[in-house]
Amino acid sequence: MYSVKRFACLLVVFCTSSFSFFTPVHAVQHAPPPQLDTLFLGPKAESGDFLRELLQSIVAEQSAWRKGFHPEDPPVIKPQTLSAPEALATRSGLKQQLAALSARLQANSNPWFSPRYLGHMNSDLLLPAVAGYVSAMLYNQNNVVYEGGPATTEIELEVAEQLAGLLGYDPKTFWGNLTAGGSTANFQALWYARNLKSFPLAVKAVMPELVKGKSSHQLMNMPVQQALELLDRVKADKKYEAVLRQTVKGAGVNPSRLGKLLVPQSRHYSWDKAADVLGLGSRNIIAIPVDRNYRMDLAVLDRTIAGLARRKIPVLAVVSVLGTTEEGAVDEVHRVAELRRKYAERGVGFFYHIDAAYGGYLRSMFINPSGSFMTLDDARKIAVEKYGIPASCGWPDASVYEAFKAVPEADSVTIDPHKLGYIPYPAGAVLFKDKRILAVQTFHAAYVQDLRKKAPVSIGHYTLEGSKAGAAAVAAWTAHQVVPLNSDGYGSLLGRTIKSTALLYNRLTAMPPFKAANGKSYRIIPLVKPDTNILDYVVQELGNPSLAAMNSLNQRIYDRCSYVSGTMTEKEIVLSKTVFSPADYGDVPLDFIRKCGLADSEWKKTPSVLVLRTTMMNPFLADEETFNNYFTIMIDALKKAIDTVEK
Ligand SMILES: Cc1ncc(COP(=O)(O)O)c(C=O)c1O
């Protein structure tokens, strides 16, 4: 069987002597920091020759592997078959199709690689991830079961361990697996939380002696650690399956026994989908308002939990977001962890999940090459001296720093390699602090899974997904091998994006009003000082008193600077947008409405505000000359958009 080591040997051959990305983790950790510019194909395919070299080596290695598998077997397809006119015509047909495909893709695909692309959570991919993906894709292994991909299953487990290190989880006690994306990672976390919540009551039904003296209310409020200990005890007993049949897994969903799911208003909509799919129902979601920084309002969270406790309604789970989808805001994880401790002491236990689908990799900015988590003073020093973030930004603020520090307190975390990991789709991930939770559900299929005690782990036992690309795991693994998950690697890469966002924020706030061709003056107003690398703002005409008119102007700018009109290749810049309305955000946007010079009554009259959104993931914008160049392009594009739409 081809082990991980063998896989590494096969691929190390194509790496040049100065660039070997298949060396073991410990060797890479002590290597000098990677030169990040060389690890992207580049906006103008500057590293095209290098990628070609890698791809050629991948094909050579794949060929060698096939030839080396039972070399005594003769070739099966005859040379004359391949040179026959029909074969040549078929190949030429394929080439024509590829040319047509290429034309179609080039005409209307998102130019993620370009510094002009400022829209969604996308950028150029890390070359190690691309090379790893293409290489493993030719092996087409399936990580649903060990048998479907022995090497790639081991690699996926190694990726999970790398991510556990990044998040501060104990590598001996955590569990993690890759998922199709952040949505399914959130689904999986909520699935486990839901089943665990129903477990203590199920024990009472089947093995009451284990929970003697505890009321149903106490059992529905059992703190997670205690529930896991109970689960562990029951798992060893022959009544385990009978208990599971009394949980949600067997008995179905009874929302009144599971309680409420508390999420911030700023949550990703995958939480609403998950509550639907898992049978919780939207009525059992409580959306906690955000504060003026677009972080979950913890005073309201506290009051909400207290109110539920008074009414004897359990809390199924609380979710924080580390890097919100719309604003890049960082919820105060440390304070939620504190609240959780406070309520556990009062007999109110709940599961705590962090949706760090977007922001999880940013934790690398706080991890020293030795693996330790930095002090706040060091984090601020390194932000300025190593990442080049302007000192005037004071990044990270104490709350952002404490939030990242407290991540390991959560029971589970979603973190997506295919977002700030710069890895190709599909690569999300979910990690659980305590792997004993896996026992709340198990699904077996006799045709693929080996249930003997010593059989290697089959990831598909535990996941929502069935078949799963081994290539996605390899992509993440190669990227993490070359770009370490600390301040020398991903920290420096993401530090660039925080820097360019800070530069943009500073420039926009300092920018005087500008005149457009229509003779009117405009200014650009940022929503808030960003926690991460997403910045929202509006273009507002000086003296305009109408929110509806401001929305209409920004909508039309968006239409011009997005996929909505024309093709992507014609775009001067590409932006995204979002809309804040009372249904999602209450009156929080009022602060911003005032900042835009509008009366409060406008918010009543037009209860929604449309903001332009830029996600500054491009790693090259941190270079100040490049930044200045593209800042001018951006402002010119906005002026042109105003001129066009205001004609
Ligand atoms: C905070 C957050 N969670 C979850 C998701 C869902 O991720 P995916 O699109 O990979 O399913 C996103 C996507 O933007 C997100 O921003």
Which CATH number goes with the domain that contains 498?
3.90.1150.10
Q: Which domain, by its residues, includes 593? A: 494-645
Number of domains in the chain: 1
Please check whether residue 173 is in contact with residue 446, taking contact to mean a CB–CB distance below 8 angstroms: no
Is position 514 within any domain? yes
Protein residue closest via CA to atom 5 of ligand 1: 182
Is position 508 within any domain? yes
Strand partners, 105: none
Is position 611 within any domain? yes
User: How far apart are the C-alpha atoms of 481 and 475, rounded to whole Å?
Assistant: 10
pLDDT at residue 445 in the model: 63
pLDDT at residue 14 in the model: 36
Instruction: Give the nearest ligand 1 atom to 322 CA.
Output: 1
pLDDT at residue 447 in the model: 64
Q: Give pLDDT tens digits for 523-535.
A: 999 999 999 999 9
Is position 581 within any domain? yes
What tokens were used for 411? 């029971």
In the residue annotation, 490 being an active-site residue is answered as no
Q: Is the CB of 121 under 6 A from ligand 1?
A: yes
If you average pLDDT over every residue of the chain, what do you get? 93
Dihedral (CA of 17, 21, 23, 27) sign = positive
Q: Which residues of the chain have pLDDT under 70?
A: 1-30, 444-454, 646-647
Q: Is the CB of 428 under 6 A from ligand 1?
A: yes
pLDDT at residue 569 in the model: 82
Please check whether residue 239 is in contact with residue 276, taking contact to mean a CB–CB distance below 8 angstroms: no
Please check whether residue 429 is in contact with residue 443, taking contact to mean a CB–CB distance below 8 angstroms: no
pLDDT at residue 456 in the model: 83
> Out of 240, 401, 447, 585, which one is annotated catalytic?
447
Dihedral (CA of 587, 588, 589, 594) sign = positive
Contacts of 583 (CB under 8 A, 6+ apart): none
Is position 511 within any domain? yes
Three-state SS letters, 114-168: CCCECCCCCCCCEHHHHHHHHHHHHHCCECCCHHHCHHHHHHHHHHHHHHHHHHC
Q: Is the CB of 180 under 6 A from ligand 1?
A: no
pLDDT at residue 451 in the model: 64
Output the CA 226–ligand 1 centroid distance in Å.
31
Is position 638 within any domain? yes
Is position 357 within any domain? no
* Predicted TM-score (pTM) of this structure: 0.94
Report helix, strand or coil for 641. Answer: helix
pLDDT at residue 453 in the model: 67
Is position 270 within any domain? no
Q: Is the CB of 268 under 6 A from ligand 1?
A: yes
State the number of CA atoms in the 13 A half-sphere of 492 facing the CB: 18
